[in-house]
Chain A
């Protein structure tokens, strides 16, 4: 198998010399196929890193955040009902600090990756971000107090402690499906299944922490693999 080019371009200037022949290295300065493949893979990896706002490092940080935050909550309300037990002040303080760092880091990463980018996918991404923020707010800021106030609900009745996780997991799965980002969709559905199967009041915070931590680590690993994957030689 031998590829042929009808013309071989030389140098950065892009002057095209119309010569027929094989696309292997010829005279000095030729852009041979091996160099082209290496450059294509390198440029692809650089572009993916540039335009991917949520980096593997950020996902790994989030894995630590959810484990520390939800683990802290679990430690402070062990033996009590998750929403009626008193979460200690230190656990809330640690959670606030970590969440603020996470929000700041995420906002900066999204702003940096989206600089100079516009188009339909960007608008779609912005809409889904609002959807996910709403899911988190509904999941924890609204659902838990309402449950605490004694309101009955079919979902809370079935899964009182893991209702927030079910809401956020399903929302996250919808986002993953909308962007055909199947690792996110799969991990989110996994969280939903775990929450539905194992969500009991006593361990709800810990299950949430471990489930989200595992999901974030999985997504971090996938993102790192995807960013390093080459186009010519995967």
Chain B
């Protein structure tokens, strides 16, 4: 079984952005400044990451007002929420596989140790 980790989400900053927005109820939006506060990112870095996610239709942003009164809000789209769900499932499957590999390695090492003691 092969699972694919979405490369767009498989980046620390973007993963945190998507997870934070996914914690809100479906359709609810978060202001850019609040998101920046929560994640502790610089505006420039956050804009770059949001742009990548928006290009993939994982988020949508809306700007209201103008000048100093302008406000940008960001919302996770259904596609973005689905992508995070798929990413989480893939990660679970992957880690399950890794745990199985580690357990097998541990068993093999234990057997080898046992053989060594027997000799």
Give the B-binding residues of A (Cβ under 8 A).
Answer: 1-9, 11-14, 16, 23-24, 31, 33-37, 39-40, 43-44, 46-48, 50-51, 115-122, 231-233
Q: Are A33 and B24 touching (Cβ within 8 A)?
A: no
In the complex, what distance in Å separates the CA atom of A13 from the CA atom of B45? 7
Of the candidates A1, A24, A119, the one whose C-beta lies within 8 Å of that of B27 is A119
Give the A-binding residues of B (Cβ under 8 A).
Answer: 1-5, 7-8, 10-16, 19-20, 22-31, 33-35, 38, 45, 48-49, 52, 73, 75, 88, 90-98, 100
Of the candidates A12, A16, A47, the one whose C-beta lies within 8 Å of that of B20 is A47
In the complex, what distance in Å separates the CA atom of A47 from the CA atom of B38? 8
Q: Are A2 and B97 touching (Cβ within 8 A)?
A: yes
Question: Given A1-B1, A5-B5: A121 and B11 within 8 A (CB)?
Answer: no
Q: Are B29 and A117 touching (Cβ within 8 A)?
A: yes
Q: Are B7 and A8 touching (Cβ within 8 A)?
A: yes
Q: How far, in Å, is B99 (CB) from chain A's closest CB?
A: 10
Q: Are A36 and B10 touching (Cβ within 8 A)?
A: yes
Question: Given A33-B94, A43-B20: A3 and B2 within 8 A (CB)?
Answer: yes
In the complex, what distance in Å separates the CA atom of A10 from the CA atom of B91? 17
Question: Given A12-B13, A47-B20, A50-B38: A3 and B4 within 8 A (CB)?
Answer: yes
Q: Are B25 and A121 touching (Cβ within 8 A)?
A: yes
Q: Are B28 and A115 touching (Cβ within 8 A)?
A: no
In the complex, what distance in Å separates the CA atom of A39 from the CA atom of B33? 22
In the complex, what distance in Å separates the CA atom of A47 from the CA atom of B25? 12
Of the candidates A13, A23, A43, the one whose C-beta lies within 8 Å of that of B16 is A43
Question: Given A3-B90, A118-B29: A34 and B23 within 8 A (CB)?
Answer: no
In the complex, what distance in Å separates the CA atom of A73 from the CA atom of B98? 59
Q: Are A14 and B95 touching (Cβ within 8 A)?
A: no
Q: Are B4 and A33 touching (Cβ within 8 A)?
A: no
Chain A hits for B96, CB < 8 A: 1
Q: Besides A14-B13, A46-B38, A233-B95, 12 other CB < 8 A contacts?
A: A1-B100, A3-B93, A4-B3, A4-B4, A6-B7, A9-B10, A14-B52, A16-B8, A24-B98, A48-B23, A116-B35, A117-B31
Among all A-B residue pairs, the 3 with the closest Cβ atoms: A116-B34, A119-B28, A1-B97
Chain A hits for B30, CB < 8 A: 116-117
